[in-house]
């Protein structure tokens, strides 16, 4: 095995070393040359989607508020998971409005029946 200088402290270390034994600087050339790429573009992935763990660059993650039982929080999600979260919110809002309209119509029907009843 050949000796190479450490990129950090310039001490001579084995080329097979994953880190410098003197300063601890990582020296594995394979890890430095192969970096994960974003699921959507060729940029270096810096983070993961919190729902599906897809590797992504910061440009392709979006923040969305999600509910967890009685609590919730903001998560960074890829485009696919973000769309599913927003679709769930829209469907929930539509169901809420429909139920509210049904309750309002029932209330109006009941109040019109009581107003036409004779007083004794």
20-48 pLDDT per residue, tens: 888 877 876 554 456 788 888 888 888 88
Please name which of 117, 119, 96, 115 lies closest in space to residue 107, comparing C-alpha atoms.
115
Residues 59-91 have pLDDT tens digits of: 888 999 888 888 888 989 998 999 999 998 999
Give me the residue label for tokens 């973000």: 82
- Structural domain range at position 40: 35-114
| CATH number for the domain that contains residue 81 | 3.30.40
Residue 119 belongs to some domain of the structure? no
Tell me how crowded residue 62 is: count the other CB atoms within 10 A of its CB.
16
| Same domain (yes/no): 25, 39 | no
The whole-angstrom separation of Cα 23 and Cα 40 is 37
How far, in Å, CA of 54 to CA of 50, rounded?
Answer: 8
Q: What percent of the chain has pLDDT over 90?
A: 21
Do 85 and 61 meet the contact criterion of CB atoms below 8 Å apart? no
Pair 73, 87 in one domain: yes
Q: pLDDT-based confidence at 97, cuts 50/70/90?
A: very high
- The answer to the question of residue 18 being in a domain is yes
């Amino acid at each position: 095995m050949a000796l190479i200088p450490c990129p950090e402290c310039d001490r001579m270390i084995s080329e097979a070393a994953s880190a410098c034994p003197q300063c601890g600087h990582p020296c594995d050339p394979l890890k430095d040359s192969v970096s994960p790429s974003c699921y959507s573009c060729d940029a270096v992935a810096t983070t993961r989607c919190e729902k599906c763990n897809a590797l992504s660059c910061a440009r392709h993650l979006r923040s969305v508020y999600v509910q967890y039982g009685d609590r919730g929080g903001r998560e960074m999600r890829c485009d696919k998971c973000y769309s599913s979260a927003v679709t769930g919110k829209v469907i929930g809002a539509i169901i809420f409005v429909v139920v509210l309209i049904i309750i309002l119509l029932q209330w109006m029907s009941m109040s019109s029946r009581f107003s036409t009843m004779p007083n004794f």
